Amino acid sequence: MQLYLLQQDENCGYDTYDSCVVVAETEDDARLINPDGKWGRTWTAWCKKPEEVAVTELGEAAYGLKGGTVVCASFNAG
């Protein structure tokens, strides 16, 4: 498992996530992780499509962390 930094700049402002660090096996798996929950909702605090997510590999995750885990997130509360 690897750690990935996810960033988005499509949905900015108050009550939105701008980035998060996640655990995933691949970059494609990481891109599908949504810190706000599910994709396809009418309103979301994250971007609307996985294609809008920028992914940067950070390194190997600690033993025992499971894929799909959001380790930390940056939320812009308003």
Angle at 52 between CA 7 and CA 64, to 5 degrees: 50
Please state, in angstroms and rounded to a whole number, the distance separating the CA atoms of residues 21 and 73. 6
Give me the pLDDT at residue 78, please: 85
Specify the pTM: 0.95
Q: Is the dihedral of CA 57, 61, 38, 78 positive or negative?
A: negative
Range of the domain at 27: 2-76
- CA–centroid distance for 72 within its chain: 9
- CA–centroid distance for 16 within its chain: 12
List, for the chain, all residue ranges whose pLDDT scores fall below the cut of 70.
none
Please state, in angstroms and rounded to a whole number, the distance separating the CA atoms of residues 45 and 28. 21
* Domain count along the chain: 1
